[in-house]
Amino acid sequence: MRYMVFVKMPEDVGEPTAALVEAMGEEMQKAFASGLMVDAGGLYPPSQSTELRLAGGTITTTDGPYAEAKEVVGGYSIIEVRSEEEAVANARRVLELHQEHWTGWEGSVEVRRIAGPDEGPPQS
């Protein structure tokens, strides 16, 4: 099973500490080497993004930043695991590294299963 893990935080959180960057780099190297991690990356800030929206039959385009954003996705990973519990345990490790290496950081990690091509649409 594949899961996407999103790291979410306030937009104005600032730059990560060098210690966190190093710890996350080491953790990601191990995860890629073991086959756990399929893909991962940090995301540029919303000020460097574009949103396209369909509403009322019209497509609009808006360049960031977005005034209503309270939390933003700062990074993601795609992991291959045997169970949801394993996915959650690996996501928890991301928060533990932030807790250990970035004093005062607050945010969340969202874990969402990726539907495979043979599964059809996800059920609510």
Q: What is the pTM of this model?
A: 0.85
Domain count for the chain = 1
Domain of 51, CATH number, reads 3.30.70.1060
Residue 81 to residue 92: CA distance in whole angstroms: 14
pLDDT, averaged in runs of 10, over the chain (124 residues): 95 90 95 96 89 94 78 94 96 95 95 88 68
Q: Domain of residue 89: give its range.
A: 2-114
110 occurs within a structural domain = yes
122 occurs within a structural domain = no
Q: Can you give 48-82 as a three-state secondary structure string?
A: HCEEEEEECCEEEEEECCCCCCCEEEEEEEEEECC
119 occurs within a structural domain = no
- What pLDDT, in 10s, does the model give residues 82-117? 999 999 999 999 999 999 999 999 999 999 999 988
